[in-house]
Amino acid sequence: MHRQNTMVNYGTRSVCVFPFECFYNIDQFVHQLKRIASWAGIQYNQHDRIVEMHEEFLKRQPYAHSKTRCDAMVQNIIQNQPADDVRDLLEEAYVNAQLKKVRT
């Protein structure tokens, strides 16, 4: 993502960027939609429907809450408390990387 951001050159065009991380937080998501509506000169409406669609989107994302889950696991491990098992290799790699940071 960093490499892509450094390669993008929009010149004099008016561009509105929607940060990827905002897709996974409803408050940030709505804030970005309002910002885009303002940028495009249209009215933001249908808030309830947007929230409903966002909740459905998150239900279908298997990794939507992985970071939060993994961060809680790391804290439990550090505090010698029972921790959930990791679900997959991605979560295991993240937990191991965070624990390695703590040891150094």
Closest CA to 19 of 40, 7, 4: 4
- By the 10 Å C-beta count (0-12 exposed, 13-18 middle, 19+ buried), 92 is classed as middle
Contact 10, 20 (CB under 8 A): no
Largest interatomic CA distance in the chain? 55
Domain assignments of the chain as residue spans, ordered by start: 2-59, 66-103
Report the pLDDT value the prediction gives residue 103, as an integer from 0 to 100. 82
- pTM here is 0.64
Q: What is the DSSP letter of 13?
A: S
Tens of pLDDT along the chain (104 residues)? 666 666 677 778 888 889 888 998 999 999 999 999 999 999 999 999 999 999 999 999 888 888 889 999 999 999 999 888 888 999 999 999 999 998 87
